[in-house]
């Protein structure tokens, strides 16, 4: 029985979809004006695992993740580059898809773009105005009147009185209330714009998600996800807009993933302390990054450092080492306790660190069985591969994984053929009990980052 921590109630609740057997999920995606950083990677990987698991549980899932391709930052960046916003956003959408594929993230079913959803956006704003939630501000922009929406603050646990006490909100004369937010922003002469009943302009940030999610999934859907920082005001505003416009409940389960941190501080564009996915992938293999992300629970903070990535790499090597040299075979009942624990962990709000711990327990059992019962070892190996596959892990060939190293430094070192050649020479030396020569070759390879393992029936190698 799957339980999900619902941020609307701040507790774990038994997950029950609106329509039996079907799940509808919307995740706030990227604003495409730059490369994705590791924080974005976490959202992608976390909800990729959620979607894989829901499907594995037999649900017919529709997974929507939007692309924000019109916004102030995009306009600013395009101006700085002296290019059209479309050429800017298209370039970064391609880059985002490359990053996703590299990380083994399966694409969402629908990936709507704000610029292609103008009709729905305008229609929702019209409805909001008709229902008295939207008004024309002193500057011509259309605003949402938060005081009209009684439940405003339900998701973030804030109320308007407390918010008034805050000092970080701009006083804008055009608004009736400082917490009112823009639904439609009038464009200046040289800005990209779309026609609307209120004049040429562009949508506010929050309205696009309300419009696209309800368009793709209906007025009421199961899961809405995104980063912690979107909880307020973005998701709060989405609820106000959607429920204001449709008149009924918007989303049942709200899921927010924790931040990636660097030195205990949030990684973000504005702080400038971010690493892009492609920078990290120059140094670590995609699966290592994925393992790193899944080694902590999705709601916890995740501290990024080279040490953590190195550790993820070592840990993954242990799993692949267990899978090495296994024969094929079917899964057996012997795996049952492990399988049960794995599902129990996943059912507990996607507790991937515990699920991963089970993978290590299976690996230990495989290692014990190797030589004892190769059949059982192989069978457990299949279980290990199946379960890790649900996390998008261990999908490479063990030999292939072990023979590659992280980083580019060792790429230019010895090629596989030369390594095999030296190993042959060493095998001959060992056969003649020329230990000094055998050790010389082993040390030589070690200097090149190649570690030998003499196992029964031969010598295998890996890059350390």
Partner RNA sequence: GGCUGAGUGGCAGAGUGGUUAUGCAGCGGCCUGCAAAGCCGUGUACAGCGGUUCGAUUCCGCUCUCAGCCUCCA
Span 353-412, contacts to RNA by CB under 7 A? 353-354, 356-357, 360-361, 363-364, 367-368, 370
Q: For RNA, give the closer residue by CB, 301 or 329.
A: 301
Site pattern 310..339 for RNA (x: CB under 7 A): -x--xx--x--xx-----------------
300-305: list long-range contacts, CB under 8 Å, 24+ apart.
300/258, 301/258, 301/259, 301/260, 301/261, 302/42, 302/258, 302/259, 302/260, 302/261, 303/260, 303/261, 303/262, 303/263, 303/264, 304/38, 304/260, 304/261, 304/262, 304/267, 304/275, 305/262
User: Looking only at residues 275 through 314 of this chain, which bind RNA when binding is defined by CB under 7 A?
Assistant: 295-297, 300-303, 307-308, 311, 314
248, 270, 330, 415: which one binds RNA (CB under 7 A): 270
The yes or no reply on residue 174 touching RNA (CB under 7 A) is no
The yes or no reply on residue 168 touching RNA (CB under 7 A) is yes
60, 138, 454, 458: which one binds RNA (CB under 7 A): 454
**Burial class of residue 299 in the structure, from the number of CB atoms within 10 Å of its CB (0-12 exposed, 13-18 middle, 19+ buried):** middle
Shortest Cβ 442–RNA spacing (Å) = 7
CA distance 216 to 461: 51
Task: Please report which helix (H) or strand (E) contains residue 166, including its range.
Answer: none
The yes or no reply on residue 155 touching RNA (CB under 7 A) is no
Nearest to 345 by CA among 361, 331, 334, 329: 361
Q: For RNA, give the closer residue by CB, 245 or 363.
A: 363
Shortest Cβ 248–RNA spacing (Å) = 25
Q: For RNA, give the closer residue by CB, 131 or 364.
A: 364
Helix crossing, 118-130 with 236-246: angle to 10°? 70
- At residue 305, the 3 state secondary structure works out as coil
Shortest Cβ 253–RNA spacing (Å) = 16
Shortest Cβ 266–RNA spacing (Å) = 3
Shortest Cβ 130–RNA spacing (Å) = 25
Q: For RNA, give the closer residue by CB, 10 or 189.
A: 10
Beta strands, E only, 246-299: 251-257, 260-262, 265-266
Alpha helices, H only, 173-285: 205-217, 236-246, 277-283
User: Looking only at residues 215 through 244 of this chain, which bind RNA when binding is defined by CB under 7 A?
Assistant: 226-234
The yes or no reply on residue 165 touching RNA (CB under 7 A) is yes
Shortest Cβ 317–RNA spacing (Å) = 7
CA distance 222 to 318: 38
Q: At a CB cut-off of 8 Å and minimum separation 6, what does 204 contact?
A: 181, 182, 183, 184, 185
Stretch that binds RNA, among 55-63, 136-144, 150-158, 239-247 (CB under 7 A): 150-158
CA distances in angstroms from 353 to 228, 391, 394, 444, listed in the order given: 20, 11, 15, 38
Shortest Cβ 19–RNA spacing (Å) = 27
200 DSSP assignment: S
Site pattern 79..108 for RNA (x: CB under 7 A): ------------------------------
113, 283, 403, 430: which one binds RNA (CB under 7 A): 430
CA distance 227 to 413: 41
# binding residues, RNA (CB under 7 A): 85
Q: For RNA, give the closer residue by CB, 60 or 454.
A: 454
* Residue entry with tokens 């089970």: 358
The yes or no reply on residue 260 touching RNA (CB under 7 A) is yes
Stretch that binds RNA, among 189-197, 215-223, 384-392, 452-460 (CB under 7 A): 452-460
CA distances in angstroms from 167 to 170, 171, 234, 328, listed in the order given: 8, 10, 19, 64
Radius of gyration, CA atoms only, the chain: 27
Stretch that binds RNA, among 52-60, 186-194, 213-221, 266-274 (CB under 7 A): 266-274
User: Looking only at residues 31 through 90 of this chain, which bind RNA when binding is defined by CB under 7 A?
Assistant: 31, 37, 39-40, 42-43, 68, 71, 73
User: Looking only at residues 178 through 217 of this chain, which bind RNA when binding is defined by CB under 7 A?
Assistant: 179, 181, 205
The yes or no reply on residue 463 touching RNA (CB under 7 A) is no
Q: For RNA, give the closer residue by CB, 18 or 448.
A: 448
CA distance 381 to 348: 24
Q: For RNA, give the closer residue by CB, 18 or 299.
A: 299
Shortest Cβ 21–RNA spacing (Å) = 28
Facing residues of 62 across strands?
Answer: 24
Shortest Cβ 458–RNA spacing (Å) = 11
Q: For RNA, give the closer residue by CB, 219 or 437.
A: 437
Tokens of 423: 């190993």
Facing residues of 450 across strands?
Answer: 463
CA distance 302 to 374: 38
Q: At a CB cut-off of 8 Å and minimum separation 6, what does 197 contact?
A: 122, 126
Site pattern 104..143 for RNA (x: CB under 7 A): ----------------------------------------
């Amino acid at each position: 029985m799957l339980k999900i921590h619902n941020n609307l109630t701040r507790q774990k609740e038994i997950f029950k979809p609106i329509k039996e057997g079907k799940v509808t999920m919307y995740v706030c995606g990227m604003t495409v004006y730059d490369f994705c950083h590791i924080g974005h990677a976490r959202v992608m990987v976390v909800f990729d695992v959620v979607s894989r698991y829901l499907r594995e549980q037999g649900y017919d899932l529709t997974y929507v993740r939007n692309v924000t391709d019109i916004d102030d930052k995009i306009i600013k960046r395009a101006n700085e580059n002296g290019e059209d916003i479309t050429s800017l956003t298209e370039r970064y959408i391609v880059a985002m898809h490359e990053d996703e594929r590299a990380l083994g993230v399966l694409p969402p079913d629908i990936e709507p773009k704000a610029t292609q959803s103008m009709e729905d956006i305008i229609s929702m704003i019209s409805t909001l105005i008709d229902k008295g939630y939207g008004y024309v501000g002193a500057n011509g922009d259309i605003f949402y009147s938060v005081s009209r929406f009684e439940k405003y603050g339900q998701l973030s646990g804030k109320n308007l009185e407390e918010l008034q006490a805050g000092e970080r909100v701009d006083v804008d004369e055009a608004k009736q209330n400082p917490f009112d937010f823009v639904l439609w922003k009038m464009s200046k002469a040289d800005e990209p714009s779309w026609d609307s009943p209120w004049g040429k302009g562009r949508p506010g940030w929050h309205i696009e998600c309300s419009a696209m999610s309800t368009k793709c999934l209906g007025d009421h859907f199961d899961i809405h996800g995104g980063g912690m920082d979107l909880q307020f005001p973005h998701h709060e505003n989405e609820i106000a807009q959607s429920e204001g416009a449709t008149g009924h409940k918007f989303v049942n389960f709200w899921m927010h993933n924790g931040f990636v941190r660097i030195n205990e501080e949030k990684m973000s564009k504005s702080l400038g302390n971010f690493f892009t996915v492609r920078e990290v992938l120059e140094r670590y293999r995609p699966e290592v990054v994925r393992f790193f992300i899944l080694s902590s629970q999705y709601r916890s903070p995740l501290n990024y450092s080279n040490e953590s990535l190195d550790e993820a790499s070592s840990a993954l090597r242990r799993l692949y080492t267990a899978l090495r040299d296994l024969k094929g075979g079917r899964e057996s009942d012997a795996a049952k306790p492990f399988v049960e624990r794995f599902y129990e962990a996943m059912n507990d709000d996607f507790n991937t660190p515990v699920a991963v711990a089970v993978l290590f327990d299976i690996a230990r059992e495989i290692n014990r069985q190797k030589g004892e019962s190769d059949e059982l070892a192989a069978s457990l190996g299949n279980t290990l591969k199946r379960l890790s596959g649900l996390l998008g892990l261990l999908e490479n060939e063990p030999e292939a994984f072990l023979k590659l190293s992280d980083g580019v430094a060792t790429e230019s070192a010895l090629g596989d053929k030369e390594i095999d050649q030296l190993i042959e020479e060493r095998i001959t030396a060992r056969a003649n009990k020329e230990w000094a020569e055998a050790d010389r070759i082993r040390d030589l390879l070690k200097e090149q980052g190649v570690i030998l393992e003499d196992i029964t029936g031969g010598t295998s190698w890996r890059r350390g």
